[in-house]
Amino acid sequence: MSRKTSVPSRSKMTLDFVEGDLIIGRGATIDGSGTPPTVKVSGTVYCEGDNIFECNLSAENLEAEDDVTIHGDLETRKYVEVEDGRLEVHGKMTGNRADVDSALYVTGDLTVQAVEVGGSLKVDGDVKTEDVDVCGSFKAKGKVDAEKIGVCGSVSLESEVDLEKLEVGGAAKVGGGKIRQIEVGGSFRSEGPLEFRNLDVGGVALLASKNTGGSIDIGGSFKVEGDLAFEDIDVGGKVVITGSAEGGEIDVGGKVEVGNSLKLSGDLEVGGKVKVDEELSARNIEVGGVLHARKATVEERVEVGGAIITVEGVTARFVEIGKRGEVRGPIKADQVIIGRDAHAEDIWGKKVLLKRGAHAENIYSENIIIESDCRVSGEVQYTGELRTNGKISLAKTPQKVDRLPT
């Protein structure tokens, strides 16, 4: 039978080494021996609650039924269990497993295999663990190295992190680092460079500095205060990237704004407006509203409902501007369609179609079709065939030439 040492309730006792278990009555205070003051217990420490340790504590296990405060380090070889109370460790905490009902506060480093807290978890130092499960909130000031963090409420990790998975029901903020999988129901913010594989946020996401990621799925809005490399982006609202962006595909319901260049190997689909201050390149572009870029280079198709605004022009195999749309800047494509009552400036193409009521300034193409009520205020040059349907207005007589101007 293991030995048991008892400390009466509301008493104060100084201990050194305890063989077996230590039972501490409610409201009792424990002092340690040596420098720094330390109590070592070979078995389990049982606390009835409202207990204070004015020393370091080392034990096999720690079990408590109410609040426990340790003014020193806590080392357990197996587990810590606190029912209906909180645990405060004013030092570092090491062990295998910790389960605290109310709250766990550690001023130093927390190093455990797994920690589960019913309320809040706060660590002023570094955190190294495999699994964190918190129902309320989790805050850490130091670096966090973990396999999985799951929090029902909010997470605030001020320094760099190295995580396999971050799963948060509310809001999450990190200082940057590496997170393979991010799932956040509310909002997510990274205040430093972040490397990730999947970013899934129900509300708003904000990244800072230079970021590298895989798949991005945001229900609300997405902002990057810096650069971004990615595989694909799917956002319900608005995307803002202040630097440069390079990736696979983008599908956005609202707007896309990029401060420098945007380079895509896949498609760009946007319901509203696209604004890229420098060069835009993609395989296909489909925009419901306005496409605005210094230059747009597209492998296949450009289809825009409202307006195409460029300085150096848009180049593609196929370009179409919708009904009553507008194109500012030159177009160069194999096939160009200017919708009904739409306006374009200079057009270079193999096949050009101006639908009824459209207006162009200059057209240079192999084959041209101009429907009724169209107007060309500049030149019309072609090498193949010019067809007109109905009444049209041409400022100059069309010219059939051997070679088109560049």
Does 1 score more than 60 pLDDT?
A: no
CA dihedral 236, 237, 243, 245 (to 10 degrees): 20
pLDDT band at 406 (very low <50, low <70, confident <90, very high): confident
299-318 mean pLDDT: 98
- CA 181/CA 109 separation, integer angstroms: 25
87-101 mean pLDDT: 98
295-304 mean pLDDT: 98
The pair of structure tokens assigned to 160 is 């760099």
Query: What is the secondary structure of 306-330 as a DSSP string?
Result: SEEEESS-EEEEEEEE-TT-EEES-
Residue 390 burial by CB count (10 A; 0-12/13-18/19+): exposed, middle or buried? exposed
With residue 256 as reference, give the H or E element that holds it: strand 255-258
- CA 154/CA 106 separation, integer angstroms: 18
- The model's pLDDT over 197-251, given as tens digits with 9 standing for 90+, comes to 999 999 999 999 999 999 999 999 999 999 999 999 999 999 999 999 999 999 9
- Long-range CB pairs of 173-180 (<8 Å, 24+ gap) are 176/208, 176/209, 177/143, 177/144
- CA 383/CA 403 separation, integer angstroms: 7
86: Cα separation from own chain's centroid: 33
No. of helices (H) and no. of strands (E), the chain? 0, 52
Yes or no: say if 298 and 313 are a contact pair by the CB < 8 Å rule: no
- CA 227/CA 213 separation, integer angstroms: 11
- The model's pLDDT over 18-76, given as tens digits with 9 standing for 90+, comes to 999 999 999 999 999 999 999 999 999 999 999 999 999 999 999 999 999 999 999 99
pLDDT band at 2 (very low <50, low <70, confident <90, very high): low
403 contact partners, CB below 8 Å, separation of at least 6: 383
334 contact partners, CB below 8 Å, separation of at least 6: 317, 318, 349, 350, 351
Q: Is 375 left (phi over 0), alpha (psi -120 to 50) or beta?
A: beta
Mean pLDDT of the chain: 97
Yes or no: say if 18 and 41 are a contact pair by the CB < 8 Å rule: yes
- The model's pLDDT over 126-148, given as tens digits with 9 standing for 90+, comes to 999 999 999 999 999 999 999 99
Does 156 score more than 50 pLDDT?
A: yes
